[in-house]
Amino acid sequence: MEVTPIDTVATIEAPEHVRFDHRLAGPAQRGAAFLVDALIRVAVVLLLWRLIGTGLVGDDAPVGVLLVAAFLLEWGYFVAFEMLWSGRSPGKRVFGLRVVKQDGRPIGFVDSVLRNLLRAVDYLPAFYALGALASALDPQFRRLGDQAAGTLVVRVSRARSDDRVAVEPPPTAAELAALPPRPALSADELRALEDYLRRVGTLSPAREDELADLIAPALAARMGGLTYGSASRFLALLYHRATVG
Q: Interface residues with another protein (CB under 8 A)?
A: 12, 14-16, 18, 20-22, 59-68, 70-71, 74-75, 83, 86, 100, 104-111, 113-114, 117-121, 124, 144, 147-150, 156-161, 163-165, 182-188, 190-191, 194-195, 242-245
166 or 205: whose CB is closer to another protein?
A: 166
CB nearer to another protein: give 151 or 232. Answer: 151
C-beta of 206: minimal distance to another protein in Å? 25
Give, for 181, the enclosing helix (H) or strand (E).
Answer: none
Q: What angle (nearest 5°) sits at the alpha carbon of residue 92, between those of residues 73 and 39?
A: 45
Contacts of 182 (CB under 8 A, 6+ apart): 242
How far, in Å, CA of 8 to CA of 23, rounded?
Answer: 6
Q: Show Cβ contacts of residue 106 under 8 Å, excluding neighbours closer than 6 positions.
A: 86, 87, 100
Nearest distance from C-beta of residue 191 to another protein, angstroms: 5
Closest approach of Cβ 33 to another protein, in Å?
19
Q: In angstroms, what is the minimal distance from the CB of 157 to another protein?
A: 3
Task: Between 162 and 229, name the residue whose CB sits nearer to another protein.
Answer: 162
CA angle 114, 21, 17 (to 5 degrees): 95
